[in-house]
Structure 1
Amino acid sequence: MYPEDLKYSSEHEWVRQPGETEGSVRIGITHYAQDALGDIVYASLPEVGDTVAAGTTVGELESTKSVSDLYAPVSGEVLSVNEALDATPELVNSDPYGEGWLFEVAPSDPTEIDALMDANTYQSSLDD
């Protein structure tokens, strides 16, 4: 159920290497997270140029159920955000690993990516 080519955080974000922008990684939320949130109606994302730190809050996802914090799975500079979510935030629900991506970061410490979970470990963490 969880793509094997991604890394996962305990906060239910995924990281894809490489991102679309050279030197970046692409970040989104997992199917598990979007399902738990319900219908997403608004995404507050970090700004391009922001510096984010792994494990810190960088935005919010608002759904019909609640507002949930969005965390940075890795540290670095935000290079791009998914502007399509301004008009169609529901892409996070319908395609969390594709068109529903959230933002891209140029990692300042690539070892943080290695420390994230693989798909099997992430799946096991959900089964606990």
Structure 2
Amino acid sequence: MPAKHARALRLWLGVLALLIVAMVLVGGATRLTDSGLSITEWQPIMGAVPPLSEADWQKAFEAYQKIPEYTELKRGMSLDQFKTIYWWEWAHRFLGRLIGIAFFVPFIGFWLLGYIPRTLLPRLIG
């Protein structure tokens, strides 16, 4: 494999490794702050944008107030407290999206350009 290809693959895989470390750290913080259920819907595309106005925040908080997490464990939580846990969950989901893009877009490009050795390909797709 040419050195140029090896450098590009090393950089790509190194960035992915750092993103995964960040995901583990943010995931741990999300868990430790009990933030994991603060976003009540999974919208892969539109959900990437957090609430942008006070009305959007209020709507998200009202949706959260309807789930058992709130009614049984966090009744009385303020909007500001909700925003704190929301940001942890949002960051965790954002990192998941980012890792997916950071893997698949370069993978397709490297594969089409022939940068990925045959011995590495099964490890990357399996």
Q: Provide the TM-score with structure 1 as the length reference.
A: 0.26
Q: Which has the higher contact order (CA 8 A, sep 6+)?
A: 2
Structure whose alpha-carbon radius of gyration is higher: 2
Structure with bigger helix share is 2
Q: Provide the TM-score with structure 2 as the length reference.
A: 0.26
